[in-house]
Amino acid sequence: MQTVWCKVNTAIFRGSLFSQVSKIIPGTLSLQFQKWKAREITTHFKPLIKVQNREKDKIKAKLEEVKSKQTDSSQLHDKVVNEKARIEAQKNLLTSEIDDFINAQISTLEKMRSNLKDEVISEYEKKNKQLDCKEDFLSIFIANCNSCVKFAERVCQAGPGNEVEVLSLKREIMPRLSHLADTTMQDVLFEKVIVTFNVDEVFWKSVTKKASFERVTVDPQQCVVTMGTGAEPGIYSTFAKQRIHFSVAVNDSKKQRYEAPVSVEAYVHSEPISARPVIPLNVVIQFYDDGYGYEFTYTPPDKGCYQLSVTVNGARVRGSPFLLWVR
C-alpha cells in the first residue's frame, strides 16, 4: 500500500521538485525528467493497448467470417438467379412447344373439316344433279301436255266449219297427242340413303389425355463416374503424380441423360481417413449437344489407397465412395 501511495505522490513531488531544480540546472534535469515521463506513460498504456489489440483481433476474426459468408451468399445468390433464368427459359420453351403442338392439331382439324365438308357437298351435289335432270324432263313434258290439251280443246269446241280445215287440224294435233299419250310415266324412285356423321367418341373424349407433361428428375443411382477413356466404376488403379481425368454422366430414372444443370461435387481423402484432410476437387460443367457433362481431375501425390466421393445434388452416385489404388 505504501508503494502505491508513493507512486501516486511521486509525480506531485517530482513535478514540484522539477520546477525548482530546473531553475538551477535547466538542461540536464529537464531532459531526464522528459525521459522518465515518457517511460511512465508507456508503462501506464501498455495494458490498455493489449486489450485494444485483443478486441480488434476478435473483430477481425468475425469480420473474416462475415466476408466468407458474404462470398458464399453471393455465390448462392448467383445460383438462384441462374436457376430462375433456367426455369424461365424452360417455361418459355414448354409453352412454345404447346403452342406448336396445338397449332398443328388445329391445322389437322381444319383440314379434316374441309375434307369432310367436301365429301358431303360432293355427295349431295351428285344427287341434286340427278334430280335436276328428272325435274327438267317433267317440266318439259308438262308444258307440252298443257299446250296440246289447250289446242285440242279449242279444236273440239269449235263450231261446224270447213271439213278440210278440220282434217288439217286433226293431222297436226293427233301425232302430238298420240306421242304424249303413249309416253310411259315412270314413278320417280328416290334412293333413301341416310348419311350420318359418325365420331369415335372414345377417341375424341380421350384427346385431352393424349398430351400431358412428364416430370423427370435426376437419379444419383443412375449416374456413372468414369476414369480416363471410360473405365468401369468401382476400383481404380493408377500411378502417383499422374493426373487422372474423371467424367460424370448425370442420368434420370430412365437412364437417359438429364438435360438440366445439377450440383456435382467430388472429394478425395487418403487412408487412414480419420487422419487425413478431405480435398475438394474442382468440377467443371461441359455443354454437349445431348445435354450437360461434368468433369474433374486429380493428381495423387503419393502411393497408397484413396477414396473418391462423388455426389449429385448432395446424394452419392452409384458406387460412391470409390477406391483409388495408387502405385
- By the 10 Å C-beta count (0-12 exposed, 13-18 middle, 19+ buried), 50 is classed as exposed
**DSSP type of residue 243:** -
pLDDT single digits (tens) 243-264: 888 888 898 888 888 887 888 9
Model pLDDT for residues 8-39, shown as the tens digit of each residue: 344 444 444 444 444 444 455 456 656 655 66
DSSP 162: -
| Lookup: cell for 138 | 317433267
Helix and strand element counts for the chain (H, E)? 5, 10
Residue 93 CA to residue 316 CA, distance in Å, equals 31
3-state SS record for 278-327: CEEECCEEEEECCEEEEEEEECCCCCEEEEEEEEECCEECCCCCEEEEEC
Distance CA 99, CA 102 (A): 5
List, for residues 204-242, the tens digit of each pLDDT value: 888 887 777 777 788 999 898 888 765 555 567 788 888
- pTM (2 decimals)? 0.51
What is the pLDDT averaged over residues 149-160? Answer: 77
Mean pLDDT of all residues in the chain?
A: 79
Mean pLDDT of 165-189: 78
Pull the grid cell for residue 40. 511512465
Q: Any idea which of 112-121, 160-169, 290-299, 313-322 has the lowest mean pLDDT?
A: 160-169
Q: What is the pLDDT of residue 117?
A: 92
Domain 220-326 has CATH 1.10.3210.10: no
Beta strands in 160-238 (DSSP E): 224-227, 235-238
How high is the pLDDT of residue 134? 87
- Per-residue pLDDT at 107 exceeds 90: yes
Q: What is the mean pLDDT of residues 289-315?
A: 86
CA 145 centroid distance within chain = 82
Choose among 236, 259, 256: nearest CA to 246. 236
